[in-house]
Amino acid sequence: MKPFWIYYQKEMLEASRTYKWIWVPAVFLLLGIMQPVSTYYLPEILTMSGEVPPEAAALFTIPSADSVMASTLSQFSTIGLLVLVLAGMNTVAGERATGTAELVLTRTVSTLPMMGAKWAAMMTLMLVSFALGLAGAAYYTHQLIGPLEWGAVASGGLLYAVWLAWIVTLVLPLGAVLRGPAAAFISLGTAAALSLLSGLLPSRFQWSPGRLSSMAAEWMLGAGAGAWAPVIAALLIMLLSIIAAAGLLRRSPLSPQS
């Protein structure tokens, strides 16, 4: 376990030196707060924009508290996911550029603790940022729009965290063979494709981890169905990704890429 902790501390230090610990949580908190506030002020915003007559704006009804929470999740799915993947894309690819990979790979130590530590550091950043964003969204929704079912928010949030986690984890094996931006693009593309497929053919893709984001939104609305198969699939993908990333880093050439 000792090498793991050393790598973990190194990753956390690197993340704070590159300001990731400031900007990623800030973006999530901002996204989480803006959704309920802009929903609350939407009638005024519509009136002030001048395009909509005030009578029509008055017809707009403020959606229920849990549907505001569900739409906050879709904010996290676009900008939030993009931010997490962009922040994580250079954790492996960057090691080659800076020469750290040479230092580690020329020794006969396993790359698994290194990958495990990278993964754990990414997860720490992701969970803290997402929890902050969700808490901000829940607080503002509760104050502005109406009381929330805290159990539904917590379970929906937990399911959603699994969805974020497996996509962010995909960056590790992809980053071991590709440049950072390509790894980011492919992992986001995989997430989009899987969630589209499971939306189009729901009966065929019962187990697909691409369903997790829409299931999390349903859980927030208090209409959750069992989610064991997609969660297990997502956990398996994460485990395989970490192992594959450790193996691929050993095999791939050492020449600086990114």
Partner 1 sequence: MEINWGLIWPILALQAILAVTGLVSLFKAEPANIRGPRWMWVLIILLGNILGSIAYFAAGRRET
By the criterion CB under 8 A, which residues form the site for partner 1?
A: 18-20, 22-23, 26-27, 29-30, 33-34, 37, 40, 44, 47-48, 79, 82-83, 86-87, 90, 94, 97-98, 140, 144
- Which residues have a Cβ under 8 Å from the Cβ of 108 and sit 6 or more positions away? none
Structure tokens at 66: 């849990």
- The closest alpha carbon to 84, from 28, 135, 30, 133, belongs to 28
When the beta carbons of 93 and 233 are compared against partner 1, the nearer one is 93
The Cα 170–Cα 237 span in angstroms is 8
Question: Do the beta carbons of residue 126 and residue 84 sit within 8 Å?
Answer: yes
When the beta carbons of 23 and 60 are compared against partner 1, the nearer one is 23
When the beta carbons of 171 and 238 are compared against partner 1, the nearer one is 171
DSSP 155-221: HHHHHHHHHHHHHHHHHHHHHHHS-HHHHHHHHHHHHHHHHHHHHH-TTTTTT-GGGHHHHHHHHHT
Q: Least distance (Å) from partner 1 to the CB of residue 157?
A: 20
Q: Least distance (Å) from partner 1 to the CB of residue 42?
A: 12
For residue 98, the SS3 value is helix
Q: Least distance (Å) from partner 1 to the CB of residue 33?
A: 6
Instruction: Outline where 50-179 has alpha helix (H).
Output: 54-59, 65-75, 81-88, 90-98, 100-105, 112-144, 150-177
Q: Least distance (Å) from partner 1 to the CB of residue 90?
A: 5
When the beta carbons of 135 and 221 are compared against partner 1, the nearer one is 135
When the beta carbons of 47 and 252 are compared against partner 1, the nearer one is 47
When the beta carbons of 33 and 191 are compared against partner 1, the nearer one is 33
Rg (CA), the chain: 20
Q: Least distance (Å) from partner 1 to the CB of residue 136?
A: 8
Q: Least distance (Å) from partner 1 to the CB of residue 203?
A: 38
